A and B are shown apart, each in its own frame.
Chain A
Amino acid sequence: MDSIITTFHIDWKIVIAQALNFGIVFAVLFYFAIKPLHKLMQERSTKIEKGIDDAKTNADLLKATTEEYEKAIAKARIEANEIFDKNKKEAEKKKAEILEQAQKEMIETIENGKKIIEAERVKMLGEVKNEVAGLVLQATEKVLAEKNK
């Protein structure tokens, strides 16, 4: 043992000094590097985990919302179609009604016109008859007057 100590110059003062050196290194590394860094890394990993979870829920929410939206759009489209069809039918019905009415009115108007024309003709004929009779009378009178002369 003594030979080892003398050969390697083992000096307890230096051993203690080196132990102190190592103690400083250990303390500084532990309190200023490993501890805060590990804490930071753990905090970050929990944050990342939370972020991933949030992203997942967000994606699910987005999917659900999109589905709802599409459903609503589809429903609205069907309703719009229904309303459109209904309106179209009504419009056609109305159109037909209007057409019918117009035809009726037209026929009535034509008939009325015919009646008026007929009445006018009868009236005119009567007048012509009267006039012709008057003329015949006058002519007859004139002829008679000349004969009597």
Chain B
Amino acid sequence: MITKEKKINIMEETKNTNIENTINADHGEISHEATIYAEPIGHIGNFPITNALLTSWIAVLIIVSVVFILNRKLCERPKGFQNFFEMILDGAFSLCDQVTGSRKLTLKLFPLAFAIFFFVLINNWLGILPLGGFGLIEIGEHGKSFIPFIRSGTADVNTTLAMSVISVIGANIFGILSIGIWKTFNKYVNIKALGSVATKFRKDKSVVIVGPITFFVGILELIGEFAKVASLSFRLFGNVFAGEVLLLAMSAILAYGLPVPFLFLEVFVGLIQAFIFAILVLVYFSIASQDHEEHDESNERGHAHA
């Protein structure tokens, strides 16, 4: 699709003006379709810089500058910006407490969840900005096509995949650190359950059935980890990309006024998706830090007492 032919810089007033119509008669028909992948707008060596990557860099820049403004004005008597941030932090802490169940765990996991939330949120919202109207016109195999400079960082599977891989691997590392490598390993390849068939057979005959089933459930959990990566990345990508397509479609029907309610919807969707991603990561981490075996054993002991 992308060929390195002649590129002409053009500027449009807004992204919402039109999808597939002519901007300039001299250049002929320019395709404005939303592609499912992020398109490169430049190269450094053989490293492609896609519009989504550029947007992510802008998001990083925004977050870093916000943090440094906050950090410089940090004082014991909060005012303005710091007050707002503290309010968010306080609310987010109590929300995390509800998920993790303990303040100690919250303090460990909160920074990651909050970083995910903030990064995804800024990326989502950057895609809604009308700055998408600035871009390149590229002459490809299907004629001229418009490539915007700005595309939601999260409307690119590369971004969401990176974040979900970090989250799932991070959750497992966190699990190893909190309950040990042996227990984490047994969650997926449950050697303990298989071994219990031999050790507990005299006490309880049903272990012949339960043991292999538990082992199989462990394998399912292993598959589940990959499913987590897929579901996390494609949920976020799908929602944000669908939002972009929706906005383009609406502005194609009527560029003035009609996209406005959908812009509000996308602001909301961006917030909700960032929130969902962060909360899910928090849940994965807190599940990984819990010891299932211990829970079961204490339950068994409870039953024995009863």
Contact = CB atoms under 8 A, between A and B. Distances in A.
Nearest to A36: B74
Given A15-B158, A15-B161, A18-B153, A26 B74 contact: no
Contacts of B111: 26, 29-30, 34-35
A69 to B, nearest CB: 36
B53 A14 contact: yes
B76 A40 contact: yes
B271 to A, nearest CB: 17
Contacts of A40: 74, 76
B280 interface: no
Nearest to B50: A14
Contacts of A17: 47, 53, 56
B159 A18 contact: yes
A44 interface: yes
Contacts of A18: 53, 56, 153, 156, 158-159, 162-163
Interface residues of B, number: 45
Contacts of B48: 11, 13-14
Contact of A22 (B37, B52, B89, B162): B162
A122 interface: no
B74 A37 contact: yes
Contacts, number: 113
A70 B119 CA distance: 65
A28 B163 contact: no
Contacts of A11: 48, 158
The B interface is mostly helix, strand or loop, or mixed, namely: helix
Given A8-B36, A14-B53, A37-B74, A22 B64 contact: no
A14 B27 CA distance: 32
Interface in B26-50: 36-38, 47-48, 50
Given A18-B53, A21-B56, A22-B163, A41 B118 contact: no
B76 A34 contact: no
A7 interface: yes
Interface stretch (B65-73, B174-182, B205-213, B254-262): B65-73
Contacts of B198: none
B272 interface: no
Contacts of B168: none
A38 B85 CA distance: 11
Contact of B115 (A14, A30, A38): A30
B263 interface: no
A21 B60 contact: yes
B34 to A, nearest CB: 14
A18 B37 CA distance: 15
B51 to A, nearest CB: 11
A17 to B, nearest CB: 6
Contact of A28 (B64, B85, B90, B162): B64
B114 interface: yes
A106 B183 CA distance: 123
Interface string B128-171: 00000000000000000000000001001111011101100000
10 contacts: A8-B157, A8-B237, A9-B50, A22-B119, A26-B119, A28-B67, A29-B67, A37-B85, A37-B86, A37-B89
Interface of B: 36-38, 47-48, 50, 52-53, 56-57, 59-60, 63-64, 67-68, 70-71, 74, 76, 82, 85-86, 89-90, 107, 110-112, 114-116, 118-119, 153, 156-159, 161-163, 165-166, 237
Interface of A: 7-11, 13-19, 21-22, 24-26, 28-30, 32-38, 40-41, 43-44
